[in-house]
Amino acid sequence: MSDAGGTTDIAGVNITIDDAAATALPDTTVIATGSYRPANYGAGDTFHDLLGPHSSAAPAGGGTLASVFNGTQPNGTWRLYIIDDATGSAGNFNGGWSLDITAGGSFGAKRFTSSDFTGDGQTDVSIYRPSNGNWWIRNSATYGNSVMQWGVAGDTPVPSDYDGDGKTDLAIFRPSSGTWIILNSATSTASFTGWGNATDNLVPADFDGDGKVDLVIWRDSTQKFWVRLSTTGAARVVTWGASGDIPVRGHFEGTNGADFAVFRPSNGTWYILSNNGSTTRQQQWGISSDELVQADYDADGKTDIAVWRPSDGNWYIFNSGSGTATISHVGSSGDTPVPGDYDGDSKSDLAVWRGAEGGWYIYNSGTAALGTALRQDAWGVPTDIAVPSTYYLP
Q: Is residue 249 part of a domain?
A: yes
Question: Whole domain around residue 187: which residue ranges?
Answer: 125-391
- Class of residue 224 by CB neighbours under 10 A (exposed 0-12, middle 13-18, buried 19+): middle
Residue 87 domain-assigned (yes or no): yes
* Same domain assignment for residues 293 and 356: yes
Q: Is the CB of residue 220 less than 8 Å from the CB of residue 244? A: yes
pLDDT of residue 48: 41
> Quick one: pLDDT at residue 254?
84
The CATH number of whichever domain residue 245 belongs to comes to 2.130.10.10
The per-residue pLDDT for 141 is 77
Question: 38 near 65, Cβ under 8 Å?
Answer: yes
- Tell me how many degrees the CA angle 342-204-379 measures, rounded to the nearest 5: 35
Give the integer Cα–Cα distance in Å for 78 and 57.
Answer: 10
Asked whether residue 239 is domain-assigned, the answer is yes
Please give the Cα distance from 264 to 13 (Å, whole number).
53
* Pair 289, 376 in one domain: yes
SS3 content of the chain, % helix, strand, coil (to 5): 5, 30, 65
C-alpha to C-alpha distance for 132 and 128, rounded to whole angstroms: 9
Regarding pTM above 0.75, the answer is no
Task: Quick: pLDDT tens for 314-350.
Answer: 999 999 878 899 999 999 999 999 999 998 989 999 9
- Three-state SS for 390? helix
Flag whether 85 is in a domain.
yes
Q: What confidence score (pLDDT) does residue 110 get?
A: 54
In this prediction, residue 64 carries a pLDDT of 47
* Cβ burial 255-291 (10 Å sphere, 16+ → b, else e): bbbbbbbbbbeeebebbbbbbbbeeeeeeebbeeebb
Given 70, 105, 140, which residue is the final one in a domain?
105
Contact 227, 217 (CB under 8 A): no
Contact present, 341 and 122 (Cβ < 8 Å):
yes
Q: What is the pLDDT of residue 170?
A: 98
Q: Which residues pair with 352 in a beta bridge?
A: 337, 361
Angle, vertex CA 213, rays to CA 156 and CA 318, nearest 5: 85
Give the pLDDT confidence of 162-209 residue by residue, as tens digits: 999 999 999 999 999 999 999 999 999 999 999 999 999 999 999 999
- Would you say residue 276 has pLDDT above 90? no
Burial class of residue 40 (count of CB atoms within 10 Å of its CB; 0-12, 13-18, 19+): buried
| Number of structural domains found in the chain | 2
- Convert the pLDDT of each residue in 67-115 to its tens digit: 445 444 455 555 555 655 566 556 665 555 555 555 554 444 456 689 9
Q: Are 175 and 123 in contact (CB under 8 A)?
A: no
pLDDT (tens digit per residue) in 121-171: 999 999 999 999 999 999 877 888 999 999 999 999 999 999 999 999 999
Within-domain flag for 169 = yes
Nearest-CA neighbor of 171 among 157, 152, 191? Answer: 157
Predicted confidence at residue 84, as pLDDT, reads 58
Give pLDDT, residue 44. Answer: 53
Judgement on whether residues 54 and 188 belong to the same structural domain of the protein: no
pLDDT band for 239, please (50, 70, 90 cuts). very high
Helix (H) / strand (E) element for 68: namely helix 65-69
Average confidence score pLDDT of the chain = 83
Q: How far apart are CA 84 and CA 4, in angstroms?
A: 8
Is the domain of 93 the same as that of 156? no
DSSP structural state of residue 27:
S
Q: Is residue 116 part of a domain?
A: no
Nearest of 336, 391, 333, 328 to residue 360 by alpha carbon: 336
pLDDT score recorded for residue 107: 44
Residue 117 lies in a domain: no
